Each structure stands twice: as C-alpha cells, then as structure tokens.
Amino acid sequence: MYGVQEEESIDVQGDMDRCLERSLVAVDNPFNSTDEVLAWIKRRNREVQVEVEQVPFAKLSGWHFDDATSNLQHDSGRFFSIVGLDVYTNTGSVNHWQQPIINQPEVGYLGIICKEFDGVLYFLLQAKIEPGNVNCVQLSPTLQATRSNYMQVHGGKKPAYLDYFRNARSEQIVLDQLQSEQGARFLRKRNRNIIIKVDEDIMPGEDFRWLTLAQIKQLMACDNTVNMDTRTVLSGLRFADSKDGVSELGELWFESESCIKGVNTIDGILHGLSELKSRYELVTERIPLKDVGEWRVTDAEIVRSDRLFFRVLGVNVTIANREVARWCQPIVQPMQEGLCVLFVKKIDGVLHFLLQAKVECGNFDVVEFAPTIQCLTGPYKNPIGYVPQFLQAYQRGECIEKVLFDTMQSEEGGRFYHEQNRNVICLVNDKAPNCPPENFMWLTLGQIKEFLRFNNYLNIQVRSLISALKYV
C-alpha cells in the first residue's frame, strides 16, 4: 500500500519536473508572446489612472506621529510604522549608528499560481502598480499582499485569487518558504514566498497573464519590468538535470545545480556561517524616532542632516485598479542607486558563485549570504575611507571575463520610492581568488538552492540575481 503511494508521488513529482523544465526553455507562448506582454504593460500604463503626490506629514490621512516617541504609525495600529533603531556591531567600517527603520511585523503573501498547459508550466503574473515604482506597472506575483491588506483593514476589496492560497492543499504546493526582506531598511521582516499549482480553469483578469518561466527570465533582462517580489519567489525553484533545449551556458547552470559538493561542502559552509555568527555581534534596540542622532523630522521628510543614504516622505496616492483606489502612506526614497554584483567562476570544472556573509541591522540572525558586492554607488560620508571588497576589481574590470547579466532592477514599490539597483552577474577569471576573505565563500548553484529551502540564509538581493539566470 505504502509502496504504491510512494510510486504515485514520484510519478507526480517527475511530471512536475518535466513541465517546469519545458517552461524554462519555452519562449513561444500561445497565450501571448513576450513582445505582446511588453505592449500590454505599456497599454496598462496608459489606461490606469496613477497619481503619486508628495504631501506634508500633516496631510497624511490615517497616519500620525506618536506623542511619546514621534514614531510615524497608522491610526489602526496595523500596516507598518517608521521607528528608530540603535545599532552596534563589531564588524564593518562603522560600528555604531542610529537610523529610522520600517517596522512591519506582519508576514505577507507573495504567491504565484501556476498551471500546466500541454505539458508546459505557466505562471500567472499581474501587471501591478505600486506608488514607488519607477515606471508604474511591473510584473508582480499573482498575489502580493500584506496581512493588513488581505484582512481588509483598509476597508477595500479582497485581493484577487487570495482564496486559492488560503485553501491550497498540500499536494498543490510547489514552493512554500518564509524569506527575508531588505535587512538595511526593514526590522526583521519576512514574507511567505509560495507557488501553488492548480488544475481548474482560471480566466485571467485584465491585469493578469499566463507566462512561461523562459519568458519571465527574458523580461528580467528589461530594466524595471519584473518586480522584486516575483524575482524572490521564483528564485526558490529547483530544476532537475535536463539539458533539452538549453543553451551552452544553461548546461553549465544545470551542472552547477546538480553539484551539492563544490570547493566547500554543505557542512563546511554551515560551520563557516556558525563561526561568523558567533564572532560577529549585532546588537539592536528600538528607540523613539525623536532620539535618532543625525536625523531630523521636518514637516515634509525624515532625513539625515547631510541628506545621505535615504529619506522618508509622505505621499498621497491614487491608483484606479487597486483594492483601495486612494490612500496616504509614508515611503522611503534612496539618495543613491545601489549596485549588486555576483561573481561566477569555474572551479574544478563547475561554476561557483562568490557570496558574502553580510551583517545588516534588520537581519534575523546576524548575517545572511549577499551578492559579492552590495553597496551604494554615490559618494557618501566615510570617515575611514572604506571601500567594499572586490568593488575596485569590478570597477577596473581586472577580473571580469564576461558580463552575463546587467540590468536595473527596482526594489519593492510599496515601501520604496523610485529605488533601483544595478544588478550584474559576471563570469570572472583566475584573478578572483579561490580562497577569498573569511566572510566570502564559493557556492555551487546546487548548494545555493539547498540553502534556499530554508529561512534567512540568502538575502533578497542575491535571490533576485539567482532568479535572473537564463537557460536559453
């Protein structure tokens, strides 16, 4: 009896793997070509009314500064708040600082519905407008909602397709993880990254389209087109070792994904992380926003005296096709663009990725794996002249053999205003060391995907880059 059930389970998983692999190389889509998707995004940009107006905090309806702390919070006590944080760490160029940070303890849904059509897996994505998006419409998951939103605290409509995720059966689950958000801007924030497979017919609404995985990866090569939430969800997908229809580079990705033992073993990587977590300190304390040093609260912004790093604004938003068409909120605007670079090197015949164990003030567990380089690009105050490791080697091109991916990618537009990072994946030569500094490790793609099964090992910036790997 149990043997029969186990064989059926293996068959189902095998069918799923094959459908996913076909989706990975299927650039032809009978529902809509990639060019038609881009045209549809442009059309929705023209059709949907969008107004985002910066307003003084006094006109931020539904929000207030707390009398005791000056923390900026919603009248309902839900959604999120802007609070102060005092940070101490014994690593990095600056060991103590204070800053505002987004406190959003709710776990939201980042959910994608997928369905098989003629042996190919398709993903239902949404043309969603967020107030902070650089170009208004971006491709988001089927469901992208905070708990306050899907519990309808705002008094608006229930998000489309919510019940598919609430009522999903275990056999429908393709992926289900809690993953972190930006550790420098959110205080220990996580979202539920989930993909479910449905069999029943779904008629997509006017803001939804079925896309193959190959198409989504094509669209990731376009600036600010596939949003951060879609990228983080798709990064967790694992692929069986099938090379049908893939490019030469795609074959190398498959080989790296099938390799669980690289220059470092899984046990060795865990030992290295445990060593760093025990040696690096990260002590944080929530403090009143009014007590945050070097920052000031004006009528219209929360900003550093030297106007560096980021500021917090108030915006009045109108987006006609949202569950609530009008609302006000605080939003974080960066002062510089960011740079996220991932080095890839063939070691012992297998592609390895150079990740750094990075301390960020909002991390759950001191460090998470980050890209090789993750930094701001503009000039900013640095009293000891610190330059991120490998940044100069990248800028000079001295270790770069080939650039595999180079695109501007937006951060989450619901909390960040016009924030984008340059995302780069580089194939590097032997000038990139096989034995890097202590807080860097070479991992195969198989090892990365193994760690992606669990919470809080890889940060959202490296997940975004991993999702962009193309196989055709």
**Among residues 112, 321, 137, which one has the least CA distance to residue 211?**
112
Q: Which residue has better confidence, 158 or 5?
A: 158
* Domain interval for residue 262: 255-283+337-467
Q: Which residue has better confidence, 154 or 252?
A: 252
Please compute the mean of the pLDDT values over residues 195-212 and round it to a whole number. 95
Number of other CB atoms surrounding residue 155 within 10 Å? 7
Tokens standing for residue 259: 């390799």
Task: Note the pLDDT of residue 93.
Answer: 86
**447 has a pLDDT exceeding 90:** yes
How close are the terminal C-alpha atoms of the chain, in Å?
A: 42
Query: In Å, what is the CA distance from 391 to each residue of 68, 377, 396?
Result: 43, 10, 9
Residue 97 domain flag:
no
Task: Note the pLDDT of residue 3.
Answer: 56
| CATH number of domain containing 418 | 3.90.79.40
**384 has a pLDDT exceeding 70:** no
**What span, in angstroms and rounded, lies between the C-alpha atoms of 74 and 82?**
10
Query: In Å, what is the CA distance from 62 to each residue of 57, 297, 299, 315, 332?
Result: 10, 18, 16, 12, 18
**What span, in angstroms and rounded, lies between the C-alpha atoms of 78 and 151?**
11
Task: Note the pLDDT of residue 11.
Answer: 61
Please compute the mean of the pLDDT values over residues 4-15 and round it to a whole number. 60
Residue 302 domain flag:
no
Task: Note the pLDDT of residue 156.
Answer: 75
Task: Note the pLDDT of residue 249.
Answer: 96
Number of domains in the chain: 1
Residue 414 domain flag:
yes
Which residue is associated with the tokens 């270790």? 399
Please compute the mean of the pLDDT values over residues 42-49 and round it to a whole number. 93
Spatial CB neighbours of 198, under 8 Å, sequence gap ≥ 6:
113, 114, 115, 164, 172
Do the Cβ atoms of 327 and 59 come closer than 8 Å? no
Which residue is associated with the tokens 């060019």? 35
Task: Note the pLDDT of residue 4.
Answer: 44
Q: Which residue has better confidence, 151 or 35?
A: 35
The mean of the pLDDT values for the chain is 93
Task: Note the pLDDT of residue 416.
Answer: 98
| Pairing status of strand 63-65 against strand 72-74 | antiparallel
Angle, helices 34-47/213-220, rounded to nearest 10 degrees: 60
**What pTM was computed for the model?**
0.94
Dihedral sign from CA coordinates of 395, 399, 403, 404: negative
Task: Note the pLDDT of residue 172.
Answer: 97
Residue 120 domain flag:
no
pLDDT per residue over 340-383, tens digit each?
Answer: 999 999 999 999 999 999 999 999 999 999 999 999 886 545 54
Residue 260 domain flag:
yes
Position 297 confidence tier, pLDDT thresholds 50, 70, 90: very high
Task: Note the pLDDT of residue 244.
Answer: 82
Tokens standing for residue 257: 């994904």
Tokens standing for residue 227: 């949003």
Spatial CB neighbours of 1, under 8 Å, sequence gap ≥ 6:
none
Residue 87 domain flag:
no
Task: Note the pLDDT of residue 157.
Answer: 83
Task: Note the pLDDT of residue 253.
Answer: 96
Task: Note the pLDDT of residue 14.
Answer: 79
Task: Note the pLDDT of residue 323.
Answer: 85
**What span, in angstroms and rounded, lies between the C-alpha atoms of 195 and 197?**
7
Position 441 confidence tier, pLDDT thresholds 50, 70, 90: very high
What percent of the chain stands above pLDDT 70? 96
Residue 383 domain flag:
yes
Tokens standing for residue 146: 């905070």
Do the Cβ atoms of 428 and 153 come closer than 8 Å? no
Do the Cβ atoms of 407 and 219 come closer than 8 Å? no
**What span, in angstroms and rounded, lies between the C-alpha atoms of 367 and 381?**
24
Residue 58 domain flag:
no
pLDDT per residue over 97-116, tens digit each?
Answer: 999 999 999 999 999 999 99
